[in-house]
Amino acid sequence: MSTNTAPRANPWLDDLEAYVPGKHGRRGEANIIRLSSNECAQGPSPKAVDAAKRLTGQMHRYADGAATGLREAIAEKHDLDPSRILCGTGSDEILQLCPLAFCAPGDEVIHTQYGFMVYALSARRAGAVPVSVPEVNFTADVDAILAAVTQKTRIVYLANPNNPTGTRLPTSEIERLHAGLPSDVLLVLDGAYAEYIEDPSYDAGLALAKSASNVLMTRTFSKLYGLAAERIGWGYRAPALIEPLNKIRAPFNVTGAGQAAAIASLGDDDWVAHVRSENVKWRGILMEGLTQLGLRPVPGDANFILTQCRSADEAARINAALMDRSIYVRHLPSMGLADCLRISVGNGDETPAILAALGDILKAAA
């Protein structure tokens, strides 16, 4: 037996790069304005904070590994069957489990050109092949997705609205996508920003996830509910999709404090309404301000805006100059968006501050 060989990781991991999160400031940097990760500018419900605090004395106890109370609270809120809900360490965990459960090495996983970067990473972790499908005007194209389906396709991921573009397909297009997919292809509808969407015809894919055997809808408490650090996501899907994901998730994947905070959040409709209306207000002001500055924001109804600059150089220069002012947004050259910046919608201090900084930076460069 050879003794001079090192353990060898799966070869498909060789070229894989780890997920790169938005920059959050340099060590020791104070008074940061953090608009790089689409967090909730208003923060969590005070009721959620209280609920989490009440559990600090229970840190030595494992939480309910089945997240029973949380699944029941979600089910009650959305009129769902709790046994079909899976909670995850953020919706990221659920998104990542899908290729592990449903793909063999070499199988194909479709995502759109500017689709959330976790989709391609998740596919590659499982040895599957991510297939990127072109978008039109920063928006997913159902015909192009359907044309990309092959015998090897196992999963189609679609965020609606998508991050980082902020664009969204109408429900009729989601239904057309689902109708055109073979029934053995899993359609993952990622509704991370669903709670921000006020369009009454939008349901984040819930109706399809309730009725279809091949649809998984994912949601999160990280965005409008402001619980990003607690890492709580959930998915809803057909019974046949439950077990494989449940078997391979981590055993105690949602903390006790996180579960308590999420349950309390679901009961605080006033806070949800407050966050929503603040987001609408400051998103409108951000859009208007960016347009007046000569930038080209892409219309969207979540808590961030993708804005096109005049060139990739200009986007890089603005990004660096904002960082010099301790303002962090997201520049995404690795996603083919080198001329764009994604800016989370801030609060009543942050939004005027970034617009003023952008005004100064663009004036200085003129």
Ligand X SMILES: Cc1ncc(COP(=O)(O)O)c(C=O)c1O
**Chain residues in the site for ligand X (CB under 6 A):** 38, 90-92, 116, 159, 163, 190, 192, 220, 222, 228, 233
254: its two tokens: 């949602």
Query: Please, is 295 exposed, middle or buried when counting C-beta atoms within 10 Å of its C-beta (0-12, 13-18, 19+)?
Result: buried
Query: Please, is 286 exposed, middle or buried when counting C-beta atoms within 10 Å of its C-beta (0-12, 13-18, 19+)?
Result: buried
Cα-based angle 72, 73, 75 (whole degrees, multiple of 5):
65
- Distance between CA 128 and CA 258 in Å, rounded? 32
Is the CB of 226 or the CB of 289 nearer to ligand X?
A: 226
Pairing label, strands 108-112, 153-159: parallel
Is the CB of 209 or the CB of 355 nearer to ligand X?
A: 209
- What's the min distance (Å) between Cβ of 67 and ligand X? 14
Is the CB of 38 or the CB of 214 nearer to ligand X?
A: 38
Is the CB of 147 or the CB of 248 nearer to ligand X?
A: 248
- What's the min distance (Å) between Cβ of 348 and ligand X? 23
Is the CB of 158 or the CB of 357 nearer to ligand X?
A: 158
- Distance between CA 202 and CA 166 in Å, rounded? 15
16: its two tokens: 């894989």
Q: Which residues of 141-175 are buried (b: 16+ CB within 10 A; e: fewer)?
A: bbeebbebbeeebbbbbbbbbbbbbbbbbebebbb
Is the CB of 193 or the CB of 289 nearer to ligand X?
A: 193
CB 109 within 8 A of CB 204: no
- What's the min distance (Å) between Cβ of 228 and ligand X? 5
- What's the min distance (Å) between Cβ of 158 and ligand X? 10
Report CA torsion sign: 335, 153, 243, 100: negative
218: its two tokens: 């994912």
Is the CB of 90 or the CB of 130 nearer to ligand X?
A: 90
- What's the min distance (Å) between Cβ of 119 and ligand X? 9
- What's the min distance (Å) between Cβ of 294 and ligand X? 27
